[in-house]
Structure 1
Amino acid sequence: MSGQNESPYYFVPHPSRHPVMAASGLLIMLASLASWVNGHTFGPVGTFIGLLFVLFVLWHWFGDAIGESEGGMYGKRVDVSYRWSMSWFIFSEVMFFAAFFGALFYARAIAMHELGSLDYKLIWPDFTAVWPNNGPAALVPHFRAMVPWPLPTINTALLLSSGATLTVAHHALREDHRKKAIIWLGATVLLGMIFLFCQGYEYFHAYNELNLTLTSGVYGSTFFLLTGFHGFHVFLGGTMLAVVMFRLIRGHFTAEHHFAFEGAAWYWHFVDVVWLGLYVVVYWL
């Protein structure tokens, strides 16, 4: 952030076209997605057009915000606002994953044991309350569960390593070693990309060799929802870090003022912590 001393008391931007344009793009994308789910032929095209329009708006919106920051318009009070905003955003993501972990807990610890109780033995006498299973009526085709070795453990090592490289990059930036920060930040982005590649291979292995799909009962649905949404968050966090790395290369940020870096780092560490929970609960227990 340049020109910190010349910044106003609190910067208030001029009226912007970006919010209404982003809302219009989201409306087109979500309405088309609903049409796609219901079998309408224009659904895929409309969804793609809406997504491109939203990305176009975000590109210019974030570009304006970067220009304001580098132009010295953001002072300490705006910095505090960004920190609170990012904190609440991450908290909302915590609640998002808490809902999925809660669904998994309910299925495993409550619903499954209730179905295996004596009250239901007359209805499903052959059902055993062992996780995972293909349901009391055995309507789900047989599948094999995921195991923690080797890919999940490798992915855990990758994410933990990426957290370490990101911390090194942050300390390098705080010490004004820009080249070192760029190298270590690039290593973090690379580790995230390798993680996504390994997860894609894991999904291929699950579908083709384990017969484990999204429709494989409550186990398959919770497995793919938890790991899939986490993978999306890895992609989102990696995109944030890649943008920050590009800005570092362009000469943005100083040793004292670099909240965009810090906000992206907070998000990445949150993604790391969620994966540790996934690794223990989904793959080991």
Structure 2
Amino acid sequence: MLKNNPFHMINYSPWPFMLAFNLLFIFMSFIKLFYHKNFLSMTFNIMVTFMIMFQWWRDIIRESTFLGNHTSFILNFLKWSMMIFITSELLFFISIFWSFFHSSLSPSIEIGMNWPPLNIIPLNPLQLPLLNTLILLSSSMFITKAHYSINMNNYKKSLLNLFFTILLGIMFSILQLFEYYSLSFSISDSIYSSLFFFSTGFHGFHVIIGTMFLFICLLRQLFNHFSNNHFFAFESASWYWHFVDLIWLFIYTFLYWWGKLFN
């Protein structure tokens, strides 16, 4: 086929269509989980989603690394796409913080005009939340060092720093789960608990996705898919990870410190 433009003419792919439908099934099974405690359908749909994402990423890696379809022109558009995606995620978290400030600065009469509501005991921000904050800040330092190392053609050092970043991300997720089990309130107790679980849970989901993203970059680096002038996947993963770290600083400041100060 004659090609007189710098764009990558993408072939027909079933993965976006399949992923969209499977995300619908995930939300349906999520609702079913609340009412019927059915973990089977939720687990199955999540596994199918991971399989579809793996197949889609495999095709993208083949197009960029082996077929050379991702030229500098395409990479520039991919960078803009990633920045727009992160901006959309930022706006979503802004809406959560907006709801939090609306509820905390002007508590409604239904919760006794108190913030946090009565019988809600917030976590001590100097204990487990502080440890999680230090873990994420350390992971941000390691991903920055990995980024610098790959720019300097030091792939062994980049691999090591990337491995430590992934390890810290897994530690954060485990500690977050432990924190949920140690809480004295549930998601349905009050507006504070609903916002707490929704914001920290959604951020935790982003940490899991970011950890997967970095793990794929680690595997690709082991197979020598990156060079010091062509490593956009790694670069976009590092952008995403820094974004996750930044959001956590706001969550830690407002949800943990704010609630404790007025308790």
- Alignment TM-score, normalising by the size of structure 1: 0.82
For the residues of structure 2 that align with 1:36 and 1:276, how far apart are their CA atoms?
Answer: 31
Matches within 5 A, 1:231-270: 231-270=204-243
CA distance 1:63–1:171, change in 2 (3 Å): same
For the residues of structure 2 that align with 1:198 and 1:49, how far apart are their CA atoms?
Answer: 25
For the residues of structure 1 that align with 2:30 and 2:181, how far apart are their CA atoms?
Answer: 25
> Partner of 1:81 in structure 2?
77
For the residues of structure 2 that align with 1:248 and 1:193, how far apart are their CA atoms?
Answer: 20
> Partner of 2:13 in structure 1?
16
> Partner of 2:152 in structure 1?
175
Q: Aligned pairs, how many?
A: 253
Q: 1:59 aligns with which of 43, 54, 58?
A: 54
For the residues of structure 2 that align with 1:67 and 1:179, how far apart are their CA atoms?
Answer: 24
In the TM superposition, what is the alpha-carbon distance from 1:268 to its structure 2 partner? 0.4
CA distance 1:229–1:174, change in 2 (3 Å): same
CA distance 1:284–1:20, change in 2 (3 Å): closer
In the TM superposition, what is the alpha-carbon distance from 1:143 to its structure 2 partner? 3.5
User: Following superposition, which runs of at least 4 residues in structure 1 exceed 6 angstroms of deviation?
Assistant: none
In the TM superposition, what is the alpha-carbon distance from 1:130 to its structure 2 partner? 3.4
> Partner of 1:99 in structure 2?
95
Mark the structure with the bigger radius of gyration.
Answer: 1
Q: Deviations over 1:130-157 (max 9, x none)?
A: 32113xxxxxxx3422120211111111
> Partner of 2:109 in structure 1?
115
For the residues of structure 2 that align with 1:51 and 1:171, how far apart are their CA atoms?
Answer: 34
> Partner of 2:115 in structure 1?
131
> Partner of 1:163 in structure 2?
140
CA distance 1:12–1:196, change in 2 (3 Å): same
Identical-residue share of aligned pairs (%): 33
- Alignment TM-score, normalising by the size of structure 2: 0.89
For the residues of structure 2 that align with 1:108 and 1:28, how far apart are their CA atoms?
Answer: 35
Amino acid at match of 1:216: D
Instruction: Give the SS at the match of 2:182.
Output: helix
> Partner of 1:4 in structure 2?
none
Amino acid at match of 1:50: N
CA distance 1:231–1:59, change in 2 (3 Å): same
In the TM superposition, what is the alpha-carbon distance from 1:234 to its structure 2 partner? 0.9
For the residues of structure 1 that align with 2:18 and 2:28, how far apart are their CA atoms?
Answer: 15
Which consecutive residues of structure 2, in runs of 5 or more, have no partner in the other structure? 259-263
In the TM superposition, what is the alpha-carbon distance from 1:19 to its structure 2 partner? 2.4
CA distance 1:83–1:201, change in 2 (3 Å): same
Instruction: Give the SS at the match of 2:92.
Output: helix
RMSD over aligned Cα, in angstroms? Answer: 2.1
In the TM superposition, what is the alpha-carbon distance from 1:29 to its structure 2 partner? 3.5
Amino acid at match of 2:255: V
For the residues of structure 2 that align with 1:154 and 1:10, how far apart are their CA atoms?
Answer: 46
In the TM superposition, what is the alpha-carbon distance from 1:21 to its structure 2 partner? 2.4
